[in-house]
């Protein structure tokens, strides 16, 4: 019976660690950029957008389409970096947990 209790205790610990890791992800900041840094997006590793910076040289009606494209590219860059930071944080958290190959957390 101790074995089942140990498994339940381990599951509760994993759940608590996952909740802590999810909260910590919102504190990790990444910055995505496009156009050689003319457009920058700051985001949390959880994917929350924190800020947007657009160089003054891009604020012209004739540059509207390029600006829109750069904003999208910067958001995508920030999102990719957020995903990488999140994956890295989760990998560190789960490194001591014996999981089957290919099993990922959170579910």
Mean pLDDT, residues 47-69 taken together: 88
Q: Which CATH class is domain 26-93?
A: alpha beta
Question: Of all residues in the chain, what percent carry a pLDDT higher than 90?
Answer: 15
**Rounded Cα distance, 77 and 106, in Å:** 23
List helix spans (H) across the chain.
2-25, 64-94
Residue 2: the pLDDT is 67
Q: How confident is the model at residue 73 (pLDDT cuts 50, 70, 90)?
A: very high
pLDDT at 37: 93
The per-residue pLDDT for range 9-24, each reduced to its tens digit, is 887 888 887 788 778 8
**Residue spans per domain, the chain:** 26-93
pLDDT attached to residue 31: 92
Say how far residue 22 (Cα) sits from the centre of its chain: 10
């Amino acid at each position: 019976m101790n074995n089942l209790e140990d498994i339940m205790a381990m599951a509760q610990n994993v759940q608590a660690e996952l909740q802590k890791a999810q909260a910590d992800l919102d504190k990790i900041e990444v910055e995505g950029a496009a156009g050689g840094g003319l457009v920058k997006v700051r985001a949390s590793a959880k994917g929350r957008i924190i800020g947007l910076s657009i160089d003054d040289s891009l604020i012209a009606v004739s540059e509207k389409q390029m600006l829109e494209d750069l904003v999208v590219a910067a958001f995508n860059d920030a999102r990719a970096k957020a995903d990488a930071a999140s994956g890295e944080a989760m990998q560190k958290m789960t490194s001591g947990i014996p999981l089957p190959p290919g099993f990922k957390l959170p579910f």
